[in-house]
Structures are given as structure tokens and as C-alpha cells.
Amino acid sequence: MTMIRKVWVIGTFLVFLLGCKSESPKPDNRIKIIIDADTANEVDDLFALVGAIANPSLNIKGITSAQFHTSPLASDSTVLESQKINEALVQIIGRNDIALPIGSNDAMDNSSEPKVSPASNFIVAQANELAEGDSLILVILGSCTNVASAILQDPKIIPKIRVHYLGFWHDPETNFYNLNEFNSGNDTIAVNLLLNTPNLDLTVMSATTSQYLVFEKKVVDENLRKHGLLGEYLINRWETYNRWWTNDDPQKEKWIMWDVAIIESIVNQDLSEKSRFATPPKNTPREILIHTKIKAKEMQDRYWKTLENLIK
């Protein structure tokens, strides 16, 4: 090989090496999130989880199962019921990579003792794995037991997490809180722990606000028809679930999608309004964020558009 040929080969090889070295992995800018769900309690939880899994802007670290012991339909292991549905959903969608740690089957006994579970341990571990300056969103769709327990287990995670909670009734005009609401009632100690924890980043999608996101059965059927087994699963849940809290709409032609509202408000921040409010008088004086208004029609439109990502 001539000297010129050798120089050309070496030079080409060096360019190749430099090119390979410059191709560093692209940063993952997706929102890191763990969803804590009392999935077996209702219908909207399932729709919310499916919408979250379908959304490419979310990096779902895990879906944890939550208890709902105050329901008149409650068994002696409500958390296991939620766990089974979580497992079924990820299997149908084909996302077995999503961690599914089970939560506590019992509410907290007091504000100083956590209900340690695989779910609370998972939350602590994921928060502690974050890089400096990074944060993890914890979305609570039901009782606050698992997240409150994680905070008690390791308070050092507080600066690393941002909690989004679906619960209680709230009047933005008077700043009146009514914690006599289903999610809040399933662990009042845990709810108050979140309200009382200084420096905890807490955003609430109140029942007052989320109640305006309503899906119609005919629209649901039309959109889910193209989703095969997943569509059948969701429609069956709607049709067979016993809506025990009301005798209105016996044909179940409409359903309030409380949990869908909170997920959509995270990925579509332009579709909701929120303001800062002082915590209730009995809680630690501080400010939290509460959603006061949502664009329900736009939320629903984006939800169905996002679900198209799951069509194979």
C-alpha cells in the first residue's frame, strides 16, 4: 500500500471514529411519572391509565395500585383488585415494561407511621435515582396512602417529587374545602399529611373542577371500536360496573371522567387553569395549586387523538 493510500485510510478511519463519538444518546425529555391508581374502584381510572400509556410525552416509571376500602362494593383486598386490572391493561396494550408494584391494602393509622408496601418502596427508590435537578411527578387517582407513606419513609424525596392529587371539593371563590369526598375519605390521614408537609409541591385537581369532563357512551363506542381487545375491555368495564352512588342515568349513557382530567391537565397544560390557594385552616399554613377550570371539550378531543397511538 502506498504512503498516500495509508494516509487516506487512516484519515477516513479517524473521521469515522470521531463521527461515532459525536453521536451521543438523545436526552429523554419526556415527563417522568408514576401513577397511583385505585383502578378497580370505578371506570374512569382505566380510561386515564390508557390515555397516559398512549401519550408519547410521558415516561411512565410505574403504575402503583391503591386501596379504596370505603366503597360499598369493597372486598377485603381492594388493592389486589386494582393490581389485577393494572396488570391486565398493560398486558393488553403490550407494555409489560411498565413496573406495577402493589400498594397498601390499608389506610394509614396515624401521621407518623407509613404503610410500607412495594409501591411506597418503589416511589422512594425512583425518586432517589433522579439526577441532580430532575423531578418525578406522582399522580394520585385515589387514596393518598402510598405516596404519603413514601414521604414518611424518606422525607429526603420531598424536593424531588411533584404531587398531583385528584380529590376533595373546593370553592375557588371562597377557598372553602370539603374533604368529604370519596378519594379523600379513603385515607384522611394521608390527605392531611400531604397538605401539612412543608415544601411539598402539591397540585390538586378537585372533584369540583374535574366533574365537567364527561364522556358519552355513543362517543366512547365509536372511538373504541377500532381498538380491538382494548376497546372491548374498556367498554365491558363501563357496561358491567355497578354505579352504586347514583340512580340517575340508569342506562349509563354518560360518565364523569375525573381521572382523565388530571392526566390530561399534566400533558396539556393549556387546557386547564389553576391558581394558588391557602391550605384549609386546620392544616399547616402554606399555599398549594388547585385547578379551577378545564376546557372539557378540547380535553376529550385530545384524549381520543392520543389513543390513536395505540392502534397497531
* Pairing assessment for the beta strands 287-294 and 272-278 based on DSSP bridges: antiparallel
The residue that leads in pLDDT, 29 or 31, is 31
* pLDDT classification of 15: cutoffs 50, 70, 90: very low
Percentage of the chain lying above the pLDDT 70 cut = 91
Q: Are 203 and 288 in contact (CB under 8 A)?
A: yes
Which domains, ranges and CATH numbers included, belong to the chain? 31-310 (3.90.245.10)
Report the chain's mean pLDDT, rounded to a whole number.
93
Q: Residue 169 burial by CB count (10 A; 0-12/13-18/19+): exposed, middle or buried?
A: middle
Q: What is the per-residue pLDDT across 252-275, written as a single tens digit (0 to 9) for each?
A: 999 999 999 999 999 999 999 999
Residue 144 CA: distances (Å) to CA of 74, 94, 140: 17, 28, 6
Q: What pLDDT is attached to residue 29? A: 87
CA–CA gap between residue 48 and residue 24 (Å, rounded)? 34
Average pLDDT over residues 28-50: 96
Q: What is the per-residue pLDDT across 266-304, written as a single tens digit (0 to 9) for each?
A: 999 999 999 999 999 999 999 999 999 999 999 999 999
Q: What is the per-residue pLDDT across 161-194, written as a single tens digit (0 to 9) for each?
A: 999 999 999 999 999 999 999 999 999 999 999 9
pTM: 0.91
